[in-house]
Amino acid sequence: MVNPSPYRNDSIFWVEVDRIKPNPFQPRRVFDEVALASLAESIRQYGVLQPLTVTRKEIEKPGEGIFVEYELIAGERRLRASKLAGIQQVPVVIRTSEDSDKMKLEMAIVENLQREDLNPVDRAIAFQRLVNEFGLKHTEIGARVGKSREYVSNTLRILMLPKEMLDSLAAGEISEGHTRPLLMLIERPEEQATLFKEIIIRRMTVRDAEQTARRIAVERSRKNDLTPELLLIERELTEKLGTRVRIEKREQGGGKVSIDFFSADDLVQLRAILAQAEAQAQAAAAAPAASAAAPLEGDIAPIEVAEQQEAPADAPLAAVAKPEERDDLYSISSFTV
């Protein structure tokens, strides 16, 4: 026996856009305005090529008779773009009103997944609603949307991230792959926030972010081997260089210093910082000597001449400095270090 079609008479109807209510279970929260404007322009030229999916309800109002109401199940982008384009009616297929709220949510999720219209955060929220409101298991959700149980579980874990990171993910500033290393540091909020900023500012790849997260994950055991002085130096270097610096001790004595970088520009910046620090150190070392040699105002600068070595008996007379020859007196050959 053939199952009856869930659609009303298997027909396409034309319905006024103002009579279609939004789907209360629509999982999508973010709509690209530029993409909507582009779709609206296409609809102006060619019309709505694919019907929207709605349910139909007859509501009796006292003194007004029976009022027909439509509720959107799938096709919100087309409905919004049609309103932007000034279209009065859109084609729809009508599902039977017996559809449950769970079915409406499932259909909305499936449609968006098939079109890849859901960002990772909206998808995770939709999965969470299926779990919380309808009691579905991760395996059941995966079967309904054509994904594995692991896919559903990993998607739901995204919601464990702070709101700032979820907003960045929804806006496309970080990718879904970046959430894995961030979730590795879920119990270390400070390090997690630092890694998140590095991903944004330095545009770290997923691979670099994962490597950094793994190093941070074992940071506690490593720090047990460092003295408070070394930990202080490590922190000061990190702040001075603007990147992660790690000091590691060797069992045989000594150790090594590791400085993270993520691009050639980072290396150029590190070189400039180190060169500036070296120049400041040289200037600081030269300042006391210059200060001691400089005469006070109104005084006569003393002249210091290094003690002369006794010249050999056969040395020419010109090799011995003469006090009256002032040019030779100030010559660098008259001084020793």
Q: Structure tokens of 232?
A: 């202080």
Active site residue 76: yes
Q: Structure tokens of 37?
A: 């404007």
Spatial CA neighbour of 258 closest among 272, 248, 267: 248
Compare 1 and 194 and report the one with higher pLDDT.
194
CATH architecture assignment, domain 1-99: Alpha-Beta Complex (3.90)
Q: What is the pLDDT of residue 157?
A: 94
Question: How far apart (Å, rounded) are the C-alpha atoms in residues 109 and 144?
Answer: 10
Confidence of residue 334 (pLDDT cuts 50, 70, 90): very low
Q: Is 44 left (phi over 0), alpha (psi -120 to 50) or beta?
A: alpha
Instruction: Quick: pLDDT tens for 184-199.
Output: 998 888 889 989 999 9
- Taking each continuous run of H as one helix and of E as one strand, the counts in the chain are 14, 7
User: Can you tell me which residue has the tokens 């190093």?
Assistant: 215
Domain(s) of CATH 3.90.1530.30: residues in the chain: 1-99
Q: Could you tell me if 219 and 191 are in contact, meaning their C-beta atoms sit under 8 angstroms apart?
A: yes
Amino acid of residue 11: S
**Averaged over 223-250, what is the pLDDT?**
76
Instruction: Quick: pLDDT tens for 254-301.
Output: 778 888 776 677 788 888 888 888 888 888 887 766 555 555 554 544
User: Which among 71, 76, 106, 198 is annotated as catalytic?
Assistant: 76
* Long-range contacts from 39-47, C-beta under 8 angstroms, 24+ separation: 39/77, 39/78, 39/81, 40/81, 40/82, 40/84, 40/85, 41/85, 42/81, 43/78, 43/81, 43/82, 43/85, 43/87, 44/85, 44/86, 44/87, 47/87
pTM exceeds 0.75, yes or no? no
Amino acid of residue 59: I
Question: How far apart (Å, rounded) are the C-alpha atoms in residues 176 and 186?
Answer: 16
Mean of the per-residue pLDDT values for the chain? 76
Confidence of residue 159 (pLDDT cuts 50, 70, 90): very high
